[in-house]
């Protein structure tokens, strides 16, 4: 813990820590569940299936774009923290998907 000299205050935080954690959870869940839900709707709808399918594809990058916009905006630290967390959550999904692909390839190589 650093001690500040008398008369000096700690600079304000740029990102709220709790909002970063909440944004990471929202980014992980949003990147996985939103496309799956839209894909499920696309599989049961008749003529609108193409529209929901395209929305499902576009919704994969939606948390990333929304997170960048929120993190770069000038506003309260909670909003910027939420945006940063959403970008982190999207990155965690990439790591998780890469790990699953490696496990799948290793499993197919042993078969």
DSSP 46: S
pTM summary value: 0.77
pLDDT at 98: 92
Q: Using the predicted structure, report yes or no on whether residue 16 has a pLDDT greater than 80.
A: yes
Q: Using the predicted structure, report yes or no on whether residue 52 has a pLDDT greater than 90.
A: no
How would residue 82 be classed by pLDDT, with cut points 50, 70 and 90?
Answer: very high
CB 85 within 8 A of CB 20: yes
| Closest listed residue to residue 85, CA positions, set 36, 34, 29 | 29
Beta strands in the chain (DSSP E): none
Cα distances (Å, whole numbers) of residue 75 to 16, 20, 58, 78, 80 = 12, 15, 27, 8, 7
């Amino acid at each position: 813990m650093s001690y500040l000299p008398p008369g000096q205050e700690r600079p304000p935080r740029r990102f709220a820590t709790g909002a970063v954690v909440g944004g990471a959870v929202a980014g992980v869940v949003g990147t996985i569940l939103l496309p799956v839900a839209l894909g499920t709707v696309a599989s049961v709808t008749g003529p609108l299936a193409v529209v929901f399918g395209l929305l499902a594809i576009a919704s994969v990058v939606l948390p990333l774009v929304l997170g960048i916009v929120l993190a770069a905006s000038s506003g309260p630290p909670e909003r910027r923290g939420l945006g940063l967390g959403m970008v982190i959550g999207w990155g965690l999904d990439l790591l998780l998907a890469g790990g699953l692909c490696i496990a799948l390839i290793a499993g197919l190589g042993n078969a």
